[in-house]
């Protein structure tokens, strides 16, 4: 599910409306068939229709396959989230 968000974000003083994509998972047996690309295309089309200028998502840093997949679609790191178990 995507919801247009602004979260007070600005770029050069202009509010940025973005879509945050949740968990995207493709059944292992059909990976590399274009399903993931098609799903993200639908997300991007919807985001544009809602006036969003970006799609944002989270990917674990150890998930090399996901990082590669999203990189090929043009996604790039925006920030790092740090975590510590206590």
CATH classification at residue 14: 3.40.630.30
- Among candidate residues 58, 61, 47, the one with its CA nearest the CA of residue 16: 47
Segments forming the whole domain that contains residue 39:
4-72
- 79 lies in some domain: no
Strands (E), 1-86: 4-5, 10-11, 14-15, 18-20, 54-56
- 81 lies in some domain: no
The count of structural domains within the chain is 1
pLDDT above 90 for 79: no
- 77 lies in some domain: no
Per-residue confidence (pLDDT) for residue 6, from 0 to 100: 56
- 80 lies in some domain: no
- 63 lies in some domain: yes
pLDDT above 70 for 65: yes
At residue 58's C-alpha, the angle toward residues 55 and 47, to 5°, is 15
Mean pLDDT of the chain: 86
The tokens for 55 are 């799609």
How confident is the model over 37-51, as a mean pLDDT?
Answer: 94
- 60 lies in some domain: yes
Whether the predicted model's global pTM rises above the 0.75 cut: yes
Per-residue confidence (pLDDT) for residue 9, from 0 to 100: 62
């Amino acid at each position: 599910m995507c919801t247009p968000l602004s979260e007070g974000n600005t770029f050069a003083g202009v509010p940025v409306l973005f879509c945050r994509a949740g968990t995207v998972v493709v059944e292992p047996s059909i990976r590399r068939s274009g399903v993931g690309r098609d799903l993200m295309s639908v997300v991007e089309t919807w985001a544009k229709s809602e006036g969003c200028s970006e799609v944002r998502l989270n990917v674990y840093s150890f998930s090399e396959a996901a990082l590669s997949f999203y990189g090929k679609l043009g996604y790039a790191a925006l920030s790092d989230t740090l975590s510590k178990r206590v």
